[in-house]
Amino acid sequence: MRIDPLRPDSAYTEELRQTQYHDTPADRFDRRRSALSPSLPPAAPAAAPVSLTAARWDRMRRALGCR
């Protein structure tokens, strides 16, 4: 899905705020939406495929604060 963060339509802007920055007040969203980019690919390709096996399950380091 591609977005147009600088589209002038106020209904579109509010929908974008609700889906991306719902916890940001509407009056502060204009600065935040300029950080959104329509030209990035949907997902960056992985350098190598990750194979999942029962032996390797839960062997990745977890981020701090996640359990």
- Given a cut of 90, is residue 34 above it in pLDDT? no
CA gap 56, 54 in Å, rounded: 6
The answer, yes or no, to whether residue 17 has pLDDT greater than 80, is yes
Q: Tell me the mean pLDDT in the region 41-56.
A: 65
Helix boundaries (H) for 1-67: 10-20, 29-33
Element (H, E) at 64: none
Query: Across all residues in the chain, what is the average pLDDT?
Result: 75
Please tell me which residue, 62 or 28, carries the higher pLDDT value: 28
Query: How far is it, in rounded angstroms, from Cα 39 to Cα 4?
Result: 9
67 residue type, one letter? R
The Cα–Cα gap between 33 and 5 comes to 6
